[in-house]
Chain A
Amino acid sequence: MKNYRLQLMVCAGTGCVSNHSFEIKDALEKEIEKQNLQNEAQVVLTGCNGFCGAGPLLVVQPDGIFYQLLKTTDIPLLVQEHLIKGRPVKKLLYTPPEEKIPIPKMMDIPFFSDQTLIALRNRGLIDPENIEDYIARGGYKALAKVLTSMTPDEVLAEIKASGLRGRGGGGFPTGVKWETCKRAHGDEKYVICNADEGDPGAFMDRSIIEGDPHAVIEGMIIGAYAIENVRQGYIYVRMEYPLAIKRFQIAIKQAREYGLLGENIFDKGFNFDIEVRRGAGAFVCGESTALMASIEGRPGEPRAKYIHTVEKGLWERPTCLNNVETWVNVPQIILKGSKWFTSIGTGDVSIDPWGGSKGTKVFSLAGKVNNTGLVEVPMGITLREIIYIIGGGIRDGKKFKAVQTGGPSGGFIPESMLDLTVDFEELTKVGSMMGSGGMVVTDEGNCMVDMAKYFLKFTQDESCGKCIPCREGTKRMLDILEKITNGDGTEEDLILLEELSNMIVESSLCALGGSAPNPVLTTLKYFREEYEAHVNDKKCPARICCQLNTYTIDEKICLEIGHGCDVCKKYCPDGAIIGEIKKVHYIDPAKCSKCGACYDVCNFNAVNIQ
């Protein structure tokens, strides 16, 4: 292998690719050639770096200098200054919000320095389409250890002792699941990787797959070995993730070529192979029984789990299904030992597997926070640390209102609870849940009733329709929420909402229906005053629910500052704005449909909402 003085790691995760990181790569290579540096500097495409909000990204190794928001026009300067003269280009470095001095090194940036990487340990360091990069970083070493020096029972004992719990949302102890599947009768069993990440606001699994697909594959092979009688594994990926599907297919092909998948792996008489199955756009397929129905070629409807899938799953055979992030943790636990893993996190899992949350959790930080992207933190960290230190606080200096964890199955957590520690039990206690790891931050400008309505609309759309509580119950709840945001709500509606929620929680067929009311229940609990303002005063405090607002134009601002610019009139879909250019404009309340378009387009803030 050739050695280079500098390696330029260009992020090729979906976020950066869509922000033209391939053009950055081409520009870098062209400039390097022009300056005759091709023997000194190498350009490498890596998986998702995590700091998605600032893409396209470049990290210059070995010093770890971090560049963000690059344009192709910046490249000649960057090559001239950094590669030739050894001076990092200040204007392309990261500067924390409200500060002036840039931070050149990636590991000094709080977004990165406060993270603990297990699942994301290879992020930004390897080319995900090259198996040798993965091997060079210790990849498949755990598999070698397992196949050459451990019995299946020893592997299982190690995973059980680690206290690893399912990262897909439920938090079921992985070792217990494997053990039940191992004990189930049948000489043909399956392992499945659930990569049907459908929670709005969650993109951890996608980034892991795109950045480190071999880690998932290695975890699955180890799982298949421990459970025994498993010859086939499936990775079920949602069709919305074309790049993830491609990376998996490349990785599986390479693993087969290297003899890590297929017949007689490591000459130990162990046979195992993996295939990718593509979804077709159904949120409910993230539920294990629905996912298996989909692999079998049926509509993805869940079934009642009187008999668990570890006993009778895919094609009625014992099946062990784990989430992407769970599988990725497996090789690291095998290599570093369960003791190391239990040293990170909360509680004690030595007696009760549900007794604590061990290891790390990957969250995708999105919404109204300064640093959006992927973060991996030790269990037990507080929400405040994630949002204010790693996330860099709220955008545009606004006030924090709530953080939503766990997607449509989770809930909204208010500011008074920001010091809550992140672990499975703590989040469930307050009515939310860990979920798969979506973390969406909302600020003072967001209406909590509207947010709850959004999630209900989502679950209503995505309900598979098999059971009545979920199909009809969420529909009725959505009707009530719409009534409230239209200004027709009453006090009784709030009581009815709670009643319906509890009914759905208790009687739905699967966990997706059973957790669907959580966004409503938590907002009713922590932001009841907002519901009451909608119902009693017919006002939306955040001014989001348009039908409750009255729009007027400030005559003085319109004429003196805006000079009657006429823009609002052009955009008004109702023809409700009266006025001519250079003259004062008015809104005719009889015609106004309260859509808010005038407020959005006015450049002079002349439109008032009351």
Chain B
Amino acid sequence: MFTEENLKKLEALKKQYPTSRALTLPALWLAQEQFGWLSEDTMKYVAEQISVPFNHVYSVASFYTMYNKKPVGKFHIQVCTNISCQLLDSEKMVEFICTKLGVKKNEITSDGKYSVSEVECLGSCGTAPVLQINDDYHEKLTAENIESIIQSTSR
């Protein structure tokens, strides 16, 4: 169920979008912001809220990679492994982070705090390699600063 605030946001969005289908992407974002990820039940709920068939919502949610179809950690670490970062060893950074946190790619730590995934170009190629923790960018990664970046989240 959406919070009262999000229901208000959704109502405001409805006025801005000419068709209910066009609302699918923003409504899913709203749901992901609230629940952290999109379960099938959440998708069904979103479909009801914006009056479109569930299969439409499902097709959209499954097409776009940034909708989480599995739960993610409180701190979702997304490492860019596109070319500029790859040239500067980002794949090893992913391995390093996974080893450090004792977690596999696309899975969450047992305490639910961290999850690690690879993402496409974050557009910080001039300061590669880069990772994003939730919405925050961290650039020019090295083994040392990754440690302190991860530590800073636990404060």
A interface residues (Cβ-Cβ under 8 A, vs B): 14-15, 17-19, 52-53, 55, 197-203, 206, 239-242, 275, 277-283, 294-301, 315, 364-368, 372-374, 404, 438, 440, 442, 446, 451, 454-455, 458, 461-462, 464, 600
B136/A18 in contact, CB under 8 A:
yes
Q: Is the interface of B mostly helix, strand, loop or mixed?
A: mixed
Q: Which residue of B64, B84, B123 is within 8 Å of A281 (Cβ)?
A: B64
Query: A280-B66, A281-B66 are known contacts. Are A206 and B127 too (CB-CB below 8 A)?
Result: no
Q: Is the interface of A mostly helix, strand, loop or mixed?
A: mixed
Q: Which residue of B26, B120, B125, B138 is within 8 Å of A203 (Cβ)?
A: B125
Query: A366-B125, A454-B83 are known contacts. Are A298 and B60 too (CB-CB below 8 A)?
Result: yes
Asked whether any CB of chain A lies closer than 8 Å to the CB of B87, the reply is yes
In the complex, chain B residues whose CB is within 8 Å of the CB of A368: 87
A297/B127 in contact, CB under 8 A:
no
16 A-B contacts (beta carbon < 8 Å): A52-B126, A197-B123, A199-B121, A200-B83, A202-B123, A203-B125, A206-B123, A240-B121, A280-B28, A282-B64, A297-B19, A300-B63, A365-B126, A367-B125, A404-B83, A446-B87
Best-surrounded residue of B86, B120, B125 (most CB of chain A within 10 A) = B125
In the complex, chain B residues whose CB is within 8 Å of the CB of A52: 124, 126-127
A240/B123 in contact, CB under 8 A:
yes
Q: Which residue of A202, A278, A404, A440 is within 8 Å of B29 (Cβ)?
A: A278
Given contacts A14-B123, A366-B125, 8 further A-B contacts (CB under 8 A): A18-B130, A52-B124, A52-B127, A281-B64, A282-B65, A297-B20, A364-B126, A366-B83
Asked whether any CB of chain A lies closer than 8 Å to the CB of B122, the reply is yes
CA distance A366 to B64 in the complex (A): 27
B24/A203 in contact, CB under 8 A:
no
A299/B123 in contact, CB under 8 A:
no
In the complex, chain B residues whose CB is within 8 Å of the CB of A451: 83
A15/B126 in contact, CB under 8 A:
yes
CB closest residue in chain B, given A408: B83
A201/B125 in contact, CB under 8 A:
yes
B120/A18 in contact, CB under 8 A:
no
A440/B87 in contact, CB under 8 A:
yes
Asked whether any CB of chain A lies closer than 8 Å to the CB of B22, the reply is yes
CB closest residue in chain A, given B23: A297
In the complex, chain B residues whose CB is within 8 Å of the CB of A14: 123-124, 137
In the complex, chain B residues whose CB is within 8 Å of the CB of A19: 127, 139-140
In the complex, chain A residues whose CB is within 8 Å of the CB of B87: 367-368, 440, 442, 446
In the complex, chain A residues whose CB is within 8 Å of the CB of B119: 240, 281
In the complex, chain B residues whose CB is within 8 Å of the CB of A18: 124, 127, 130, 136-139
Asked whether any CB of chain A lies closer than 8 Å to the CB of B54, the reply is no
B21/A296 in contact, CB under 8 A:
yes
Among all A-B residue pairs, the 4 with the closest Cβ atoms: A52-B126, A281-B66, A280-B64, A200-B82
A366/B123 in contact, CB under 8 A:
no
In the complex, chain A residues whose CB is within 8 Å of the CB of B136: 18
B22/A296 in contact, CB under 8 A:
yes
A297/B25 in contact, CB under 8 A:
yes
Looking at the assembled complex, report how far the CB atom of B53 sits from the nearest CB atom of chain A, in whole angstroms.
12
Within 8 A of A (CB), among B9-42: 16-26, 28-29
Query: A280-B66, A281-B66, A300-B63 are known contacts. Are A200 and B139 too (CB-CB below 8 A)?
Result: no
CA distance A203 to B127 in the complex (A): 11
CA distance A240 to B130 in the complex (A): 12
B interface residues (Cβ-Cβ under 8 A, vs A): 16-26, 28-29, 52, 56, 59-60, 63-67, 82-84, 86-87, 92, 119-128, 130, 132, 135-140
B124/A279 in contact, CB under 8 A:
no
Looking at the assembled complex, report how far the CB atom of A455 sits from the nearest CB atom of chain B, in whole angstroms.
7
CA distance A455 to B56 in the complex (A): 31
In the complex, chain B residues whose CB is within 8 Å of the CB of A198: 120-121
CB closest residue in chain B, given A50: B126
Looking at the assembled complex, report how far the CB atom of A444 sits from the nearest CB atom of chain B, in whole angstroms.
13
Looking at the assembled complex, report how far the CB atom of B80 sits from the nearest CB atom of chain A, in whole angstroms.
9
CB closest residue in chain B, given A280: B64
In the complex, chain A residues whose CB is within 8 Å of the CB of B60: 280, 297-299
In the complex, chain B residues whose CB is within 8 Å of the CB of A206: 123
In the complex, chain B residues whose CB is within 8 Å of the CB of A367: 83-84, 87, 125
B137/A278 in contact, CB under 8 A:
no
CA distance A514 to B126 in the complex (A): 28
In the complex, chain B residues whose CB is within 8 Å of the CB of A440: 83-84, 87, 125
CB closest residue in chain A, given B16: A275
CB closest residue in chain B, given A210: B123
Query: A282-B64, A440-B87 are known contacts. Are A372 and B123 too (CB-CB below 8 A)?
Result: no
B83/A201 in contact, CB under 8 A:
yes
B135/A242 in contact, CB under 8 A:
yes
In the complex, chain B residues whose CB is within 8 Å of the CB of A282: 63-65
In the complex, chain A residues whose CB is within 8 Å of the CB of B83: 200-201, 366-367, 404, 440, 451, 454-455, 458
Looking at the assembled complex, report how far the CB atom of A400 sits from the nearest CB atom of chain B, in whole angstroms.
14
CB closest residue in chain A, given B57: A297
Q: Which residue of A53, A199, A278, A461 is within 8 Å of B25 (Cβ)?
A: A278
CB closest residue in chain B, given A239: B66
A315/B18 in contact, CB under 8 A:
yes
In the complex, chain A residues whose CB is within 8 Å of the CB of B92: 600
B126/A200 in contact, CB under 8 A:
no
CA distance A115 to B22 in the complex (A): 42
In the complex, chain A residues whose CB is within 8 Å of the CB of B67: 280-281
Looking at the assembled complex, report how far the CB atom of B78 sits from the nearest CB atom of chain A, in whole angstroms.
9
CA distance A423 to B16 in the complex (A): 41
